Structure 1
Amino acid sequence: MILLADSGATKADWIAIDNNGNRLFSTQTKGLSPEAIDKDEMIKRLNERFDIYQNKDSVKKIFFYGAGCGSDKMKEIVRNALTEFFPHTEEIVVEEDTYGAVYATTSPGTQAIVCILGTGSNCSYFDGELLHQKVLSLGYFLMDDCSGNKLGADLIRAYNFRTLPSELSVKLSQEYNMDIDFIKINLYKKPNPNAYLATFAKFIIQNKDHEFIQQIINRQIQTFIDYYIKQYDNCTEVPINFNGSIGFYLKDELEKKLSENGLRLGVALRRPIDGLIDYICKHRLT
């Protein structure tokens, strides 16, 4: 059995396949980002999924693409957790989620700028063979522009500063606990504040036709274009591919802003995991 995983900070998608690429089962766990949790918590989260637990002795290969796996140190944390939980593995590949995004959207030999817009955000250039990243992420606190957590932060700030239109404020307070102490506990006392902030992205998407929400979305997209995509000199010459729920649900808004900047939208996938199956079968199992 072979396991493929695409993990963000909030959740991780898993698909089990056989040596011929046939799907055996798919499931989801909480995110396994080594920047947010330690090895023991990763193992706990794996144990919580019965379909993963009952098959752990059958897993021979794991291809794990995850947020927070940009350095050797972070990769080793994930690899140690997987090695301990899956005792009979013969091969464990751990790479940053950006690689999963590239493999899911961009064929080998094809050039593209590949972005992740989910709970967090990222942007890289794939030259057809190698991945190039000009800006290394400093995490959700200082970066992650246009991500779910940044959109959520903008929404909470607008609510707290009372610049959010009244009809949206009422609706937001009906759907979320907007008590300031509750918000601060989730931001400063509980783990994964970025994932908490990203829960507000659902409200942004559901109300994206409102003029005020459009301003938030367009401001974040333009920031992402200016500071991430335009780092690459050939950005106007190659397609811009997106992975993640924010990129998928804001596809129309992205396409419009990209066009205004002389850029071209390529693929926008919600779940890279589906595209990874084809890549793994063609390039990693032969």
Structure 2
Amino acid sequence: MRLLVDSGSTKADWIAIDDEGKVLFTTQTLGLNPEVLSKEVIIERINDRFDIEQNKDKATHLYFYGAGCGTDRMKSSLSTIFKEYFSNATTVVVEEDTYAAVYATTPKDEKAIVCILGTGSNCSYFDGKILHQKVQSLGYIIMDDCSGNVFGKELIRKYYFNKMPKELAVEFEKEYNLEPDFLKAKLYKEPNPNAYMATFAKFLIQHKDTEFCKKIIFKGMKSFVKNYVKQYDNCKEVPVHFVGSIAYYLREELQITFDKYGLQLGNVLRRPIDGLIAHHSENK
């Protein structure tokens, strides 16, 4: 049994397939970002799903693509946890989530810039064989341009600095618990503060036609293009693909931004997990 996992900071999609690529089961856990979670929390989140816990001894291969797995230290740490948990697995591969995005969006051997816009953000160049990254992410506190957590942080700041239009502020208060003690507990005392901040991005998307939200959205996209996409000299010569909920629900805004900069918007997918099935069925 082969386990394929696409994990962001918020959630992780799991699919088990046999050697012919037939789906045995699918499930979802909370995100498994090793940069912000301890070994104990990661195992607790895996054990929370019956299908995984009951079938862990049947797993022979595990391919994990996840947020927070961009460094050798994080890959090694998570690999060790998985090898202990899936004790019969002879193959355990941990890669950053961008590889899942590449396999899902980019035809075989084609060149493209591949981006993630979800809870966090990322951007890499795929030369048809190898992934190249010019910007090493330093995490959600100072990077992640145009991501759900950055948009969420911006909304909270605008609200607390009294910069949000009154009518939107009223709606914001109805949608979320904005009590200072509650917010600070979520942000500073509980796991995954980045995923928590990203929950506020839903409000931005729901109200994306207001001038207030448009300004935030296009400012974020401009920043992403300038700081990430334009790192690559051939950015106007190859398609730029995206995966992630932010890109998916703001595709129209992405297209407007790309037209402004003369860039080619390629495939935009909410989740790459289906593409992983095809990839691993072809590459046994």
Class of the TM-score when normalised by the shorter of the 2 chains: over 0.9
Structure 1 portions without partners, runs of 5+: none
Which residue type is aligned with residue 99 of structure 2? Y
Which residue type is aligned with residue 47 of structure 1? N
Q: Supply the RMSD in Å over aligned alpha carbons.
A: 0.9
Which residue type is aligned with residue 212 of structure 1? F
Correspondence for 1:80: 80
Which residue type is aligned with residue 120 of structure 1? G
Structure 2 portions without partners, runs of 5+: none
User: What is the alpha-carbon distance in structure 1 between the residues aligned to residue 282 and residue 255 of structure 2?
Assistant: 30
Does 1:194 pair with 2:194? yes
Does 1:279 pair with 2:275? no
User: 1:81-120 CA deviation, whole Å, 9 max, x = no partner?
Assistant: 1112112111111111111111111123101100000110
Correspondence for 1:69: 69
User: What is the alpha-carbon distance in structure 1 between the residues aligned to residue 262 and residue 221 of structure 2?
Assistant: 14
Does 1:7 pair with 2:7? yes
Do 1:243 and 1:270's aligned partners in 2 also have CA atoms closer than 8 Å? yes
Correspondence for 2:243: 243
User: 1:219-277 CA deviation, whole Å, 9 max, x = no partner?
Assistant: 00000000000000110111110011111111111011011110011001111111111
| Deviation for aligned residue 1:210 | 1.2
Does 1:47 pair with 2:53? no
Identity %: 58
Correspondence for 1:133: 133
Which residue type is aligned with residue 147 of structure 2? S
Do 1:60 and 1:88's aligned partners in 2 also have CA atoms closer than 8 Å? yes
Correspondence for 2:255: 255
Q: Helix, strand or coil for the counterpart of 1:143?
A: coil
User: What is the alpha-carbon distance in structure 2 between the residues aligned to residue 69 and residue 231 of structure 1?
Assistant: 21
Do 1:39 and 1:80's aligned partners in 2 also have CA atoms closer than 8 Å? no
Which residue type is aligned with residue 207 of structure 2? N
**TM-score w.r.t. structure 2 length?**
0.98
Correspondence for 1:162: 162
User: 1:21-80 CA deviation, whole Å, 9 max, x = no partner?
Assistant: 111111100111110112221111110001111111111101100111111110111111
User: What is the alpha-carbon distance in structure 1 between the residues aligned to residue 64 and residue 190 of structure 2?
Assistant: 26
Which residue type is aligned with residue 238 of structure 1? V
Do 1:38 and 1:77's aligned partners in 2 also have CA atoms closer than 8 Å? no
User: What is the alpha-carbon distance in structure 2 between the residues aligned to residue 28 and residue 190 of structure 1?
Assistant: 21
Give 4+ residue runs of structure 1 displaced > 6 Å after superposition. none
Alignment size in residue pairs: 284
Q: Helix, strand or coil for the counterpart of 1:55?
A: helix
Which residue type is aligned with residue 38 of structure 1? S
Correspondence for 1:101: 101
User: What is the alpha-carbon distance in structure 1 between the residues aligned to residue 83 and residue 130 of structure 2?
Assistant: 27
User: 1:186-207 CA deviation, whole Å, 9 max, x = no partner?
Assistant: 1122221111100101111111
User: What is the alpha-carbon distance in structure 2 between the residues aligned to residue 19 and residue 255 of structure 1?
Assistant: 39
User: What is the alpha-carbon distance in structure 2 between the residues aligned to residue 214 and residue 84 of structure 1?
Assistant: 47
Which residue type is aligned with residue 175 of structure 2? E
